[in-house]
Chains A and B, each alone.
Chain A
Amino acid sequence: MTSMTPGTAEFLLAFADDEHLMGQQHTEWIGIAPFLEEDMAFASIAQDELSHAALLYAIVADNGQGGPPDDRAIDTLAFDRSAADYRSAQIVEVACTGWAHALVRHWLYDTAEELRWSLVDGSSLEPLRDAAAHAAREERFHVRHADGLIDVLAHTPDSADRLADAVNALLPLATGLFEPVAGEAEAIEAGVTSAPFDTMLPEWTDRVRARFPEIDIGAIAAPAYAGRAQRHGDFAALMARMNEVRGIDPTAVW
């Protein structure tokens, strides 16, 4: 059994934080997505992302031993760290109040996430391999879902403009998904992941260009990392919403 170094823990936390906050942001569309069926579908996808986060937090919580998940320990990692200790990318922290932005973020994120899981599907950490297999089964539907909506909307004049605006606004933040944390090198050394995530940036860029051929996206080849150690201005409000109910009684058993 591989024992987990602090660097590996940081690497996994960055992944978990992205999944956690992305799932949370998607859930906030329940009841206000453009049509009823999409309400449910987007919230189902959100639940999938939250379950990925829980799998990753559980690995950190029990040091990769693969024991039964400890919900309290998972919650502590998910909710009780100080803002400075989060390692999430700013694309999952920023508030997307328009549907076009939420949909484009969904596509950008899931396209990157699919590549991200593929780097750990042969991990030296058995529970991470299992999580990767679990996530891969779901991710292909997530990307298809985003693609399906964009296929329709990209051919509608007003919608196409809104999508283009969203792509231009969100791309600089989305490239931050590929920003490594310091611990990634240790995770590679330990065989936890097979390569730096940013080696996938060219593949992701190709997919972005193929998805949005009408949009001039030359700038994404040289990402300006905003900083996984630095929170976006929307983070505090997001955290407050997430903890609104839990804060009433943090020790409650659900």
Chain B
Amino acid sequence: MHTYEIFLKKDGQEEYRHAGSIDAPDDELALLLARENYLRRAEGDLLWMVDRTHLLVGDRDFVAPNSDKPHRDNDGLLVAAHRKSQREAQ
């Protein structure tokens, strides 16, 4: 058995969204089983499936070290505070 990840999209501007996963012996059956398990109530108009072993995965160590860099949060608050203090000093 292979595990496949399933993504569905409705017509229109909505993006593909992860719907779940499925076990199947091969690609052909995976498509048919996905159709009968995830689309029985017309949950999507388009389907993407990918064998989980074909996913490129960024693990936690690879992703994590960027959680302590507030200077990249460009919300303008520090600049606003600086300008305000400059105005008040004049």
Contacts and interface: CB of A to CB of B under 8 A. Distances in A.
Nearest to A153: B25
B33 interface: yes
B32 A41 contact: yes
A141 B34 CA distance: 12
Say what secondary structure dominates the interface of chain A.
Answer: helix
Interface string A130-156: 000000000001001100110110000
A152 B25 CA distance: 7
A37 interface: yes
Contacts of A36: 23
A44 B40 contact: yes
A41 to B, nearest CB: 4
What interface size band does chain A fall in?
A: 10 to 19
B22 interface: yes
A181 to B, nearest CB: 32
B29 interface: yes
Interface in A33-60: 35-38, 40-41, 44-45
B2 to A, nearest CB: 12
Contacts of B37: 37, 40-41, 44
B24 interface: yes
A151 B28 CA distance: 10
A44 B40 CA distance: 7
Interface in B29-50: 29, 32-33, 35-37, 40
A149 B28 CA distance: 10
Nearest to B32: A145
A41 B30 CA distance: 11
A148 B36 contact: no
B28 A144 contact: yes
A38 B32 contact: no
30 contacts: A35-B23, A36-B23, A37-B23, A37-B24, A37-B36, A37-B37, A38-B33, A40-B33, A40-B36, A40-B40, A41-B32, A41-B33, A41-B36, A44-B36, A44-B37, A44-B40, A45-B36, A141-B35, A144-B28, A145-B29, A145-B32, A145-B36, A148-B26, A148-B28, A148-B32, A149-B29, A151-B26, A151-B28, A152-B25, A152-B29
Given A37-B33, A40-B37, A151-B28, 13 more contacts: A37-B22, A37-B23, A37-B36, A37-B37, A40-B33, A41-B33, A41-B36, A44-B37, A44-B40, A141-B35, A144-B28, A148-B29, A151-B26
